[in-house]
Every structure is written in structure tokens, then in C-alpha cells.
Amino acid sequence: MNRSDLTRRGFLSAVGLSAAGAGCLSIPHALSASESSAGKPNVLLIMTDDQGWGDIHSHGNDLIDTPVLDRLAASGARFDRFYVSPVCAPTRASLLTGRYHLRTAVHGVTRGYETMRSEETTLAEILRAAGYRTGCFGKWHNGAHYPQHPNGQGFDEFIGFCAGHWNNYFDATLERNGKPFKAQGYITDALTDYAIEFIRSNRDRPFFCYVPYNAPHSPWQVPDRYFDKYKARGLDDTTACAYAMCENVDDNLGRLLQTLDQLKLAGDTIVLFLTDNGPNSDRYNGDMKGRKGSAHEGGIRVPLFVRWPGRIEPGRVIQPIASHLDLLPTLAHLCGAPLHVEKPLDGKNLASLLEGDGRDWPDRMIFTHWGNRGSARTQRWRAHVQGQKWELYDMIADPGQKNEVGQEHPAVLKKLRAAYERWYKDATKDGFDPIPTSVGCPESPEVVLPGHEAFLMPEAGDGISYVGKSGWANDWVTNWTSVEAYPSWEIDVVREGNYEITLMYTCAEENLGAKIQVEAGGKKIGGIVDRAHDPEPLPSPDRVPRKEVFEKVWAPLNLGIMRLPQGRTQLCVKALTIPGETVMDLKAVHIKRVD
């Protein structure tokens, strides 16, 4: 049976897998390289994190140097009005699936709300089924656990991190296909090294190389030579560091393109560059309204440059509005990859705009939602809502959104508002129930439940809390002062078996002695916090005081072996006694299958 003719569900039935085991299945290769890859272009897709439209020299910013991006923009097609989501994880989910992020279950950036349902079909799965070798190098941010992990969503090779941000950019601890290791040097340089290694090792077959850099997302860290250059231009520390990080990305983009030249692959490779949302500070952004997190133009309009020598005319400027939703159907078409997807796509194939004149391209609506705000965008109009307040802007006459014109054009606002409300109702119809963490997948014998993914009972702040107010990536459980309070995680044990339970913690000497119990699936296992471990945070070379937590070295508290039955349950960590002021600070729970 040909894999390309099967849906995921049909494939599972065909091979006779149980429902529990199906949750851990990764899509296999459909065809060998020799059968399916002849004449297919490579794809190099680069996306940066929190780099705004204005963080590019050729977009009118004389304070930043991005010569490689400027050349890339001139050597292929540049989209004049290209849109993404207001923040990181939603953009990634839409880019990878061609579907609005709300349909994929992604509705936040932390606490597991950034996790994409594994049933979604990604661009990596589509290209891998067509004979491509697939690699992701950087920030994933659409699920930290298999099968939502990159290796479960179509990527043969993953090097990077899965959370919304990382804590240190020098000699960072990254993961390679689920296993942590210590990278060397500055993180953007290191990720580029791994991407180049992937390109070189797959030069003789088509590859999809996805490089989602985490710069210039905070924390604000960058090598001296970049930072000093922009401080010498009289910029404040935040802007100087943002521009420095962007120039470092530009240099590394140059290294990637040079590798394609050296391997004589440039003519056979589609190169794309975009960013994931507007700028993460108040800096130059083309006089647009809004920044990261906003549903206004400045929060979601970003660059998209596409180069394919011999196929896409250099210097082409594409005026019709387009979005991240469009990249999956476009690249599948350009790569000759069959679009075997179960769920309907929201994106459109942009090939006629890239290679033809696009003369008959119809107007469309592109929707945006984040928090209590959203927008509907056509070629001319932007309708924006925040709370219950609707506004309308004429984006051709007033690209800076200086004048609200809803009263002058009530019929237009009514039409766009009605379309947005219909879309939102449809996009959210599957709801946002928590996606449980799969435990016991053969592909992932050890699972780490991080503190920031815990649900705090009875609620955060009532005898227990995260370090940060919202439980951002890399936070932990702290201020644990009540035996009535506890963290819990939704888990799905896909294979009954014996599992070793280890807590990663810190605890000061004066707070030792708390009796701990882990409960899951009707089973219990306990221990006592009897060893002090209260280190200072690791030093971090920040240019600007950080909002994120600092890194620490955590101690293991091994509780022993627990037999977990198959099925969905909650794993809870409870304090039975608290002889000191607090129980401990809890970073994570490690669950390792030992059968």
C-alpha cells in the first residue's frame, strides 16, 4: 500500500497499531530518494524571532547593517504586504500547517498552550513523504514532547530547543533529537554550523532545511563586536542589542548562502526569509502602528524574501497581501510534493505571484487573533478589534493608521466584522482542551514535565506559584507553602510499565524535611527532601536587565520506580508535611521507562 494514498488514521489501521500506540507514531518515509526526489528543488527556510519589518537596512533603516538580507531581497521576490501572527508559537503553527493556529490548538506561548496537535500535517511531513531529508535547527515552540516534538512532526534531524525562549545564548545547552548537549559559542553561530552540516551531508538528495533562529528575542545577549558597533552609533542598549543580534543573523545567513554556492546548489534551492512577528521593543518599524503582540499592521507585517535563481525574477515586488498560511501550499507545489492532508488548508498557493504576473489574483481576507484582539485585513482595509471596540482603517490612503474611518464606511466595517466573527467561531470550534503529555513512547523513553507546564492547584498564588506571573518558558514552581497546594500535569501513558520518577529541585538548609508524594493513575510513590541544594543563578552576560528567569543547576531527588497503568491521568506532586517555610522549588519531573 502506498503511504501517500493513506490518511494518518487509515495508515494506523493498515499496520494494525493500537489507539494508545498510535499517539506515538511518527510518519514514515513514503518513498526512497531515488524513487521520488529526482529534479526536486531544495528548500532553505529561515525565520528569525522578534525581528521586525524595520530591522532591515533596505526597508529604510539607516542605523542597521544587513547587507546579505538586502542582496537576498533584490535577488528574488519581495512581498510588500506579508503577514504572520502577533507572537511566536501561533506563527510557527500556521507556517508549518498552512492553517490558522487556532485550528491546531495553539492559543498561547507557554504552559503547553503553544503545543500543536500531533494530528496536524506539517510541511516537513509533506516534503519527507516526497523523498526529502528534513532538518530543523533552532526554536521549535510548538510542543516539547513526542509526538508533538519536531521528530514526531516530520523532521529527521532536530537541533535546538522547544520552549518559547532560551536562557543563555553563549555555550547553550541544546538538544539533538531529544538528547541534551552543550553547544559551543554564540547560539546563532552554532545553529548555523549545524544547518550547514545538514546541508553538506544531504547535498546529493533534496532537503528541507528549516532554520528558525531565536534572535533577536530576549534575553539581550550578543558578542561584543556587534554590540559595541551599535552603541557607537548612539543607540540605547536595547536597540543596540537588537540591531547587533540582527546583524549577526545577517552574517550567518551569508554563511548559509555561501555554503549553497560552494556546493553548487544555489540554482537548485528555494531560499526564503521571514520573521515571526513585529519588533519586540519600540524601535523603527516603518511608521506602522503596533509592535509584537499587536494585531495592528506593525505587529504582524513582516518581510518575506524568496529566491530561486532561474525561476523567480530578481527584483520582483509582489503587491497582493499574503501570509504565513500560504507557504505550505506554495512550497508543496514548487517542490512537486503531493498535498495529502486530512484537514482543510487556509493558505493559498502563491506560485502564480512568484513566477507569473498574478494579474487575476483575487482580493482576500486574512484574519488575525491574539488575546482579546484581532483583525481582518483585505488589500485596502484593516478592521481591528480590542475587547469590544472595533476600528476601521484605509491602509492604502493611511498606511500608518492615523485616522479611524469606521463612521465614514459603516458598511465596510460591518462586513469585515461579520466575516471575522464567522471565522473565529469556525477556527475555535474544536476547543482548547489541554493536550496531555505522552509517556512511554518508544521514541521517547524519558519524558521531562517542566514546572512551567504544570497546572497549579488550587490556583497560582494561593500557597504556590510560578517564578513569573504567567509561568513563562523555563520558569519553575516556587512559593510552595501549603499542603493543600500542588502542581499537576495531564499525561497519557501509552504503554503500561515501570517508570523511574525523579524530581529536579532546589531547597535551602532551613527548609529541609518536607515529605513528598507523587500520584498518578491510582499509584503513589514518596520521599523526603533531605539534601540541601540552593545554588546561585548562573552568570548571564545580559546587555539589558532580563525579564526571564536565570539558569540554575538543579539537584535530582530520585523517588524510585512507579508502575503506571495505560491511559490518561493526572500526575500530581504533593507535599504531605512542610517543616520549613516552603517545600522546595520544583523545576521538573523526569519520568523514565525502565522495563
Distance (Å, rounded) from C-alpha 172 to C-alpha 160? 10
Active-site option among 57, 59, 88, 296: 88
Q: DSSP class of residue 40?
A: P
Active-site option among 57, 59, 141, 384: 141
Q: DSSP class of residue 256?
A: H
Output the nine-digit C-alpha cell for 113.
Answer: 498552550
Strand-pairing partners, residue 439, are 493
Mention every residue, 6+ apart, whose C-beta is less than 8 A from residue 176: 157, 158, 159
Are 454 and 446 in contact, with CB atoms under 8 Å apart? no
Are 67 and 265 in contact, with CB atoms under 8 Å apart? no
Q: What is the dihedral of CA 385, 390, 393, 399, to 10 degrees?
A: -30
Q: DSSP class of residue 426?
A: H
Strands of the 269-275 sheet, one edge to the other: 179-182, 173-176, 157-161, 133-139, 207-212, 42-48, 269-275, 304-307, 77-79, 316-318
Amino acid at position 66, single letter: T
Active site annotation includes 324: no
Are 247 and 66 in contact, with CB atoms under 8 Å apart? yes
Are 213 and 191 in contact, with CB atoms under 8 Å apart? yes
List Cα–Cα distances, 582 to 140, 443, 481, 515, in angstroms: 34, 37, 5, 12
State in Å, rounded, how far the first CA of the chain is from the last one. 34
Active site annotation includes 88: yes
Distance (Å, rounded) from C-alpha 62 to C-alpha 64? 6
Q: DSSP class of residue 170?
A: B
Strands of 308-444, DSSP E: 316-318, 322-323, 366-370, 373-377, 381-386, 389-394, 437-439
Distance (Å, rounded) from C-alpha 514 to C-alpha 573? 12
Residues with active-site annotation? 88, 141
